[in-house]
């Protein structure tokens, strides 16, 4: 069987396909985390209401923290893959075709970022993320605190949960500004 040489261009295109496959998988996973969060929130609220136990609402902050952090990490990796394709992989591939006459490799990677409504969509998405992963657990904590029938240990736990949710909120805003 004759040996076939693999070109640098073929390797770069294979890498591109690999990172785009990872990005696509992360997008699907990230987007499903919002649905999972909504389902968990509904289940915990229904269980707490049925049992008439506001302390059960203390389950929401840790769940929302884990799901929110996972969402945020995947969102950051999705953006990092796009940046890598735009700023590293694309230019390396373009350098292999010097006679391409101004051809932009992977033009969509930059083009879709220039949409005039991108900033408003990012702002709305940040509000949705803050609502799903931070406002909902803070509302649950407020209901717990307003119940009045709480023990000292549960109140201490709820304060720690509130601080952790505030930390997640700051990370969501920070990552949104960086994108």
pLDDT at 96 over 80: yes
pLDDT band at 110 (very low <50, low <70, confident <90, very high): confident
pLDDT at 102 over 80: no
Per cent of the chain over pLDDT 90 is 73
Find the helix or strand (DSSP H, E) in which 78 lies.
helix 60-84
Note the pLDDT of residue 105.
Answer: 82
- Output 3 or 28, whichever has higher pLDDT: 28
Mean pLDDT of 151-165: 95
Mean pLDDT of 133-159: 92
Torsion sign across C-alpha atoms 175, 44, 163, 148: positive
Q: Determine phi and psi for 6, rounding to 5 degrees.
A: -95, 130
pLDDT at 3 over 70: no
Tokens of 172: 């969501």
Mean pLDDT of 67-79: 97
Note the pLDDT of residue 124.
Answer: 96
Alpha carbon 27 to its chain's center: 8
Note the pLDDT of residue 95.
Answer: 86
Per the prediction, the chain carries an average pLDDT of 92
Domain ranges of the chain: 8-178
Mutual angle of helices 118-130 and 152-178, in 10-degree steps: 170
| pTM of the predicted protein model | 0.88
């Amino acid at each position: 069987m004759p040996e076939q040489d693999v070109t640098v261009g073929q390797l770069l295109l294979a890498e591109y396909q690999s990172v785009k496959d990872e990005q696509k998988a992360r997008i699907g996973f990230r987007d499903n985390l919002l649905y999972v969060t909504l389902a968990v929130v509904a289940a915990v609220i229904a269980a707490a209401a049925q049992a008439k136990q506001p302390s059960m609402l203390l389950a929401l902050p840790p769940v929302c923290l884990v799901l929110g952090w996972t969402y945020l990490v995947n969102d950051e990796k999705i953006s990092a893959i796009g940046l890598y394709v735009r700023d590293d992989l694309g230019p390396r591939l373009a350098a292999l075709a010097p006679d391409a006459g101004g051809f932009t490799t992977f033009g969509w990677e930059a083009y879709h970022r220039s949409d005039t409504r991108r900033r408003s969509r990012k702002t709305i998405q940040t509000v949705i993320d803050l609502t799903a992963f931070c406002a909902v657990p803070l509302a649950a904590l407020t209901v717990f605190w307003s119940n009045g029938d709480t023990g000292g240990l549960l109140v201490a736990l709820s304060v720690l949960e509130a601080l952790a949710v505030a930390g997640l909120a700051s990370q969501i805003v920070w990552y949104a500004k960086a994108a």
